[in-house]
Every structure is written in C-alpha cells, then in structure tokens.
C-alpha cells in the first residue's frame, strides 16, 4: 500500500473512531469472506460496525483520532484482527455485547480478545456478563413497574375500603327491611 493510500485510510478511519467510546477486538483468523459478510450484516442491523485493520495501522489511526478506546486496545490487535464498534456514540453496551456474543456462540468461530467499554478495558468474561444482562428497555420497564407498584396498591386499598363500606351499607339496609315491624300502639 502506498504512503498516500495509507494516509487516506488513517484519515478516514480516524474520523470514524474519534467519538468511539466502546470497541471489541476479535481474532479474524479462520473466518471466510462469506462468513465475514454475514457477521457484518448481522451487526449492521443494529448500528454496529466492523473494520479489519492492519496491526501497524492501528497505532497511527489511534494517534490521529485521539481515541482512548483505540489506544487501550492497541495491544490486543495482533495477527488478523477486527475492531467492532457501535456506529453512534453512547450506544447501549448491553445490546452491543449481546449481539456479538450471540453471533459468536451460534457460529463457534470468532475469538474475542477483549475490548474497551465506557472508559475501561474489559475481558471476555466481563463481555459475557454484560451480554447476560437484560437490555436497557427491559430494565426501564422493571423500574417503571417498581415505581408504579405503590400507587397501584394504594388504589386497590382505597377501592377495597370503598367496597367494604358499600357492602356494610347493603347489609345494614337488608337487615332493616328483613326486621319485623314493631307492634302497633293502641
């Protein structure tokens, strides 16, 4: 690759990685081109991107981008490696990890070397733990249910109190109508 082309590649990839705060490095060895295309398509469905970058280029791209994430994973990029990252900043890291772990478990061919998630390096074990967590939407739904629970219990309690009062009044009314009439006074 000529020096001019390398400079263009560094410029293009550094602009992509500038805002990157999450990335995962995977070993690309043993993946055929059709499988790589399938992986890219699978990831792209949710806005996750994958780049195969030469090891020597990673350092130059990291410096040009000023990306902490890329600088932290630079040591993991050995041999044929790919960098997988969300296409937008502040992407839900649970869905990010879940998507990659799901594909890896299904196809049994992708070796994850590690990554950088929200300001710190992570291991494969931590990525698996992230993938096992419920998604952001599920957690928000659970929190909404917890917040709604006291109000629901109050409404049921108030409704039950009113219901008891109504039943007591009905019993009292029935008792009055069933009672024998008092004797007539002469």
pLDDT digits (tens, 9 = 90+) for 2-59: 788 877 877 777 777 777 778 888 887 778 888 888 988 988 888 888 888 777 777 7
**DSSP annotation string for the chain:** --HHHHHHHHHHHHHHHTT--EEEEEE-TT--HHHHHHHHHHHHTTTEEEEE--HHHHHHHHHHHT-HHHHHHGGG--SSEEEEEESSTT--HHHHHHHHHHHHHHHS-PEEEEEEETTEEE-HHHHHHHHHSPPHHHHHHHHHHHHHHHHHHHHHHHHHHHHHHHHHHHHHHHHHHHSPPPPPP-
pLDDT of 88 above 80: no
- How many domains, in total, are found in the chain? 2
126/142 same-domain check: no
The parent domain of residue 79 ranges over: 3-133
pLDDT digits (tens, 9 = 90+) for 48-68: 888 887 777 777 776 666 666
173/120 same-domain check: no
HSE-CB at 22 with a 13 A cutoff on CA atoms is: 21
Residue 184 lies in a domain: no
108/142 same-domain check: no
Residue 123 lies in a domain: yes
Residue 37 lies in a domain: yes
Residue 26 lies in a domain: yes
128/140 same-domain check: no
Residue 186 lies in a domain: no
90/30 same-domain check: yes
User: At 108, which CATH number?
Assistant: 3.30.70.1730
55/145 same-domain check: no
pLDDT category at 102 given cuts 50, 70, 90 is confident
């Amino acid at each position: 690759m000529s020096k001019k082309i390398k400079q263009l590649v560094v410029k293009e990839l550094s602009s992509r990685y500038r805002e990157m705060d999450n990335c995962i490095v995977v070993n690309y060895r043993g993946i055929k081109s059709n499988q790589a295309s399938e992986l890219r398509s699978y990831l792209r469905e949710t806005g996750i991107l994958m780049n195969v970058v030469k090891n020597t280029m990673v350092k130059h791209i990291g410096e040009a981008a000023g990306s902490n994430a890329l600088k932290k994973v630079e040591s993991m990029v050995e041999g044929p490696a790919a960098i997988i990252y969300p296409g937008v900043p502040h992407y839900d890291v649970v869905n990010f990890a879940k998507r990659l772990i799901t594909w890896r478990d299904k196809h049994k061919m992708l070796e994850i070397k590690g990554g950088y998630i929200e300001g710190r390096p992570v291991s494969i074990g931590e990525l698996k733990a992230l993938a096992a967590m419920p998604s952001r939407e599920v957690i928000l739904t659970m929190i909404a249910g917890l917040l709604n629970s006291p109000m629901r219990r109050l409404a049921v309690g108030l409704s039950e109190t009113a219901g008891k009062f109504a039943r007591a009044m009905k019993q009292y009314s029935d008792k009055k109508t069933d009672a024998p009439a008092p004797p007539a006074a002469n």
